[in-house]
């Protein structure tokens, strides 16, 4: 375990211990148990307990607890500085899911009953960190050994409770390289159209997690196989591609190393125009920053294919962008697939390493304020002149304020 994660684990153990000392049952639950059984370091910890939210608050104090879902039996317990807070949830069984998103009611219950209301068997186990024992009422350990993703109980019931579980099934199965159990897969195929009752934000959140993972190609393919893809992403009609185009696309997805999910979406939607990408990103209700990244990447997708032929001002602007890492990663992956080399990527990498920041992205020699102080009237000419000065500066044709003013005079028809 990394030194960064050790304090998180220690705090998670302490939360369980304090609840036990107060005579409540408490165990780690869900994904952290799955990760431990797989031999992975959990990214976070959840605790399940017999204590009600009010009792959790009495154990840890008002200042250290936040009621993030008290009506559903969930409290957030805050730890020391630098340590991730922990969700502490009361064992519960849930009422009907009339809207396919959330239960109408919850009732506190036993540990075993709590296990059976969860989504997949691999996420339905509990772990006692004090005795290091696993409590498994749903066959999660066996499914982990068999590398199978299976709904707990009747998959029709589990998917009816929360339609997003259909997409989560894809994410978990491809993340761990598991097969989706046949009855679970069939239930997803039968109910794919119903995922539209889930908010776009929740769908986008799951989608971005899938596309950020190394197994993004498998996630895309499994989403297609189960019929989810055309429902959640109708703008990206993968089945319409010819076999060669599809093969190249899947190879590219596999070749990418730590891309942002926004880059992956742009690659999948490269048939869309810049405005089309913008509309797509707005439909997914992505943040302004995410939409800006996608628009910029769509505009410059092919710009680094032959960087040595670019003018200095174009090269510098591309390589000084805050989104350059995505563009460079795309360039590297594309080259490996098409040419088996990385000449363009290596050229850019060398240029970045050998070019000081003040040369790559220098302070402007002139600004609009300089023009105003010189008695010039603001107008459209400002933008044209400033752009010309910046381009000449980046192209290393001018180097000083005097050079810049001389260029302005020439552009204005002066001597």
pLDDT at 131: 95
pLDDT string in tens for the chain (415-residue length): 444 578 999 999 999 999 999 999 999 999 999 999 999 999 899 999 999 999 999 999 999 999 987 567 899 999 999 899 999 999 987 655 444 455 554 678 899 999 999 999 999 999 999 999 999 999 999 999 999 999 999 999 999 999 999 999 999 999 999 999 999 999 999 999 999 999 999 999 999 999 999 999 999 999 999 999 999 999 988 767 788 888 889 999 999 998 999 999 999 998 899 999 999 999 999 999 999 999 999 999 999 999 999 999 999 999 999 999 999 999 999 998 887 789 999 999 999 999 999 999 999 999 989 999 988 888 888 889 999 999 999 999 999 999 999 999 999 886 5
- Assign domain 1-138 to a CATH class: alpha beta
pLDDT at 415: 59
Contact 200, 285 (CB under 8 A): yes
User: Looking at the chain, which residues constitute the CATH 3.30.460.10 domain(s)?
Assistant: 1-138
Q: Which of 212, 188, 323, 191 is nearest to 265 (CA)?
A: 212
Q: Which of 248, 292, 240 is nearest to 266 (CA)?
A: 292
Q: Is the dihedral of CA 22, 23, 29, 32 positive or negative?
A: positive
CA angle, 171 then 157 then 218, to 5°:
15
CA angle, 287 then 292 then 298, to 5°:
125
């Amino acid at each position: 375990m990394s030194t960064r994660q050790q304090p998180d684990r220690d705090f998670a153990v302490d939360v369980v211990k304090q609840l036990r000392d107060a005579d409540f049952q408490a165990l780690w639950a869900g994904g952290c148990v799955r990760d431990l059984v797989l031999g992975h370091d959990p990214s976070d910890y959840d605790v399940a307990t017999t204590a009600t939210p009010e009792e959790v608050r009495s154990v840890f104090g008002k200042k250290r607890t936040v009621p993030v879902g008290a009506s559903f039996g969930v409290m957030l317990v805050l730890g020391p500085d630098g340590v991730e807070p922990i969700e502490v949830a009361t064992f519960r069984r849930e009422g009907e899911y009339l809207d396919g998103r959330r239960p109408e009611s919850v009732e506190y219950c036993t540990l075993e009953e709590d296990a059976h209301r969860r989504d997949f068997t691999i996420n339905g186990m509990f772990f006692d960190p004090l005795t290091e024992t696993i409590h498994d009422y749903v066959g999660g350990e066996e499914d982990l050994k068999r590398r199978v993703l299976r709904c707990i109980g009747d998959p029709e019931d589990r998917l009816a409770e929360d339609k997003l579980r259909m997409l989560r099934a894809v994410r978990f199965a491809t993340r761990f390289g598991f097969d989706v159990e046949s009855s679970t897969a069939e239930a997803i195929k039968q109910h794919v159209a119903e995922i539209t009752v889930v908010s776009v934000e929740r769908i986008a959140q799951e989608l971005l997690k899938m596309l950020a993972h190394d197994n993004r190609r498998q996630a895309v393919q499994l989403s297609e196989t189960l019929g989810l893809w055309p429902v959640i992403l109708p703008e990206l009609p993968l089945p319409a591609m010819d076999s060669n185009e599809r093969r190249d696309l899947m190879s590219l997805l596999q070749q990418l190393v730590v891309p942002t999910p926004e880059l992956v979406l742009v690659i999948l939607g490269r048939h869309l125009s810049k405005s089309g990408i913008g509309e797509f990103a707005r439909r997914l209700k992505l943040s302004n920053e995410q939409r800006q990244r996608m628009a910029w990447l769509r505009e410059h997708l092919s710009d680094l294919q032959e960087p040595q032929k670019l003018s200095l001002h174009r090269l510098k602007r591309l390589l000084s962008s805050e989104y350059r890492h995505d563009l460079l990663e795309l360039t590297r992956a594309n080259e490996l697939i098409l040419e088996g080399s990385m000449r363009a990527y290596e050229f850019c990498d060398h240029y970045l390493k050998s070019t000081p920041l003040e040369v790559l992205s220098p302070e402007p020699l002139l600004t609009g304020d300089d023009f105003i102080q010189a008695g010039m009237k603001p107008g459209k000419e400002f933008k044209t002149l400033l752009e010309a000065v910046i381009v000449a500066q980046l192209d290393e044709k001018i180097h000083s304020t005097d050079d810049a003013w001389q260029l302005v005079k020439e552009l204005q028809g002066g001597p």
